[in-house]
Amino acid sequence: MSVPKNQPEFDAYAKNYEELLDDPIRNVFAGGSDFFHRRKWDLLEEFARRHKIALDGVRWLDVGCGKGELLHFGCRRVKSATGCDPSREMLIESAEVSIVHQENPGKLPFADASFDWVSAVCVYHHIPVEARASFCREAARVLKPGGYCIIIEHNPWNPATRLIVSRTPVDQDAILLGAAESVSLQQQSGLEKVEVRYFLFFPESIYNKIPGWEEWMSAIPLGGQYMAVSRKSSA
């Protein structure tokens, strides 16, 4: 699909976004996109539980939020939920989530030290490799001292993930990054590594029956996606 040079790439995908994600393997894995967003929210809740973080005190920013589905899973549990994205067409106004258009893809439209969590879900693989470090520095800038930077990405070591990405139209420009690269971007931004966890080992039907298993397996670098979390020093 061709995208005019001066227009954010995802404007062209927004109208048929769900159809463009359609893939036979993805469809076997889950009944729809809801599962993938719910699974990520489960992961963030688990993270909060393990690190004894009171969710009702968390000011959360999801950068590259797209249609904001993940924020909607979690917004009632946190103190505030905000999303931003350079693609106006992807953004959907919401009563529960604060949605902000990001005019400049390289600059987050927020003051320094505004958020406790800054997540980016499947965003970095769309950012040119040479722009990733400065993008991560932006995430670190808007984090409060002691706040967490959360990168969730496709795992390049999972063959099914690679195959799906290679034939998904919205991923035609994707350059995947492994967990080590995500951690390195966070460390270059002055953040301290907290953890890397792999998930999406099992399709929805199995995950629903044995949800705890993915937690035990989270160190095995073969899940369909991973989460890399780093922390901004509180000093």
Residues of this chain that bind ligand SAM (CB under 6 A): 8, 10, 63-66, 69-70, 85-87, 90, 102, 105, 121-123, 126-127, 135
CA dist list (Å): 108 to 46, 82, 114, 161: 27, 12, 11, 29
* DSSP H/E element including 197: strand 192-199
Q: Which is nearer to ligand SAM, 73 or 202 (CB)?
A: 73
Q: Least CB distance from residue 187 to ligand SAM, whole Å? A: 20
CA angle 61, 16, 136 (to 5 degrees): 30
Q: Least CB distance from residue 182 to ligand SAM, whole Å? A: 15
**Is residue 118 a contact partner of residue 139, using CB atoms and an 8 Å limit?**
yes
Q: Least CB distance from residue 109 to ligand SAM, whole Å? A: 10
Q: Which is nearer to ligand SAM, 39 or 231 (CB)?
A: 39
Q: Which is nearer to ligand SAM, 173 or 192 (CB)?
A: 173
Q: Which is nearer to ligand SAM, 90 or 97 (CB)?
A: 90
92 in helix, strand or coil?
Answer: coil
Q: Least CB distance from residue 97 to ligand SAM, whole Å? A: 13
Q: Which is nearer to ligand SAM, 4 or 212 (CB)?
A: 4
148 in helix, strand or coil?
Answer: strand
| Nearest CA-CA partner of 36 in 78, 77, 66 | 66
The tokens describing 20, both together, are 């463009």
| Nearest CA-CA partner of 142 in 44, 232, 234, 41 | 232
The tokens describing 174, both together, are 């994707």
Q: Least CB distance from residue 195 to ligand SAM, whole Å? A: 20
